[in-house]
Amino acid sequence: MKILAINGSRRTKGNTETLIQALLAPCNAAGVETESIFIGDYNIGACTGCEGCAKSWQCVIKDDYAKVINKIDAADGIILASPTYWYSVTSDMKRLIDRSYSLVQFPVSRKNWIGKYQNSGKACITVGICEQFEMAAMGNTLSLLTDFSKDIGFEVVDSIAGLGFFAAGSINNDSDILSRAEAAGQSLLKHLKQ
């Protein structure tokens, strides 16, 4: 079993990474192989809307996108996490999502699509973190990550909204949300073992 966490932040000691590590802690303790990556470390350009992926499940742009997809292909569990930047995910995370247009196909009509990972057994947890204390300030950060995950065929086991965290690592002072993250990590493990 393998669990991959994809972090939309570039802050290596930031709140998103801290929460990811809390999620992964029970997985590491259970001896499961885990990997956490910062998507900003990968050179992933913008989707050009060329439709080159329309029938192949593969993006035709040659950059680091395929490296990340290979990691997702090899993972059983995925954690998709991003801080809120202006009511949405970071631009690094958004480019990954846009390029993943290659992970859906429209075989019959544009109204219905199938995701590459449908029936694959891949499960995921989505995480959004923002500074303000109301869900409205998070905009679509969490719903975008969750809708995207469902569209490409992941089963979303849990979603966590971290509200009220600004300074890098300030989430370390909130034992409630760290416990909530550990519990979500346990749920992911349990789901994958079923």
Ligand X SMILES: Cc1cc2nc3c(=O)[nH]c(=O)nc-3n(C[C@H](O)[C@H](O)[C@H](O)COP(=O)(O)O)c2cc1C
Smallest separation, CB 119 to ligand X (Å): 33
Smallest separation, CB 86 to ligand X (Å): 5
The CA distance from 7 to 28, in Å, is 18
Of 21 and 187, which has the nearer Cβ to ligand X? Answer: 21
SS (H, E, C) 104-125: EECCCCCCCCEECCCCCCCEEE
Smallest separation, CB 20 to ligand X (Å): 9
Query: Who's near 13: CB < 8 A, 6+ residues apart?
Result: 168, 169
Burial of 25 (0-12, 13-18, 19+ CB in 10 A): middle
Of 28 and 132, which has the nearer Cβ to ligand X? Answer: 132
Q: Can you tell me whether residue 154 is helix, strand or coil? A: coil
- Please tell me the total number of residues recorded for the chain in this structure: 194
CA distances for 25 relative to 15, 75, 91, angstroms: 15, 17, 27
Comparing every residue's Cβ against ligand X, the nearest one is 14
The CA distance from 45 to 57, in Å, is 17
Smallest separation, CB 70 to ligand X (Å): 25
Of 84 and 149, which has the nearer Cβ to ligand X? Answer: 84
Of 23 and 192, which has the nearer Cβ to ligand X? Answer: 23
Smallest separation, CB 144 to ligand X (Å): 13
Of 61 and 135, which has the nearer Cβ to ligand X? Answer: 135
The CA distance from 46 to 11, in Å, is 21
Q: Let me know: does 36 contact 17? Beta carbons within 8 Å.
A: yes
User: Which residues contribute to the site for ligand X (CB under 6 A)?
Assistant: 9, 11, 14-16, 83-87, 129-132, 137, 165-166, 168
Smallest separation, CB 173 to ligand X (Å): 12
Of 84 and 126, which has the nearer Cβ to ligand X? Answer: 84
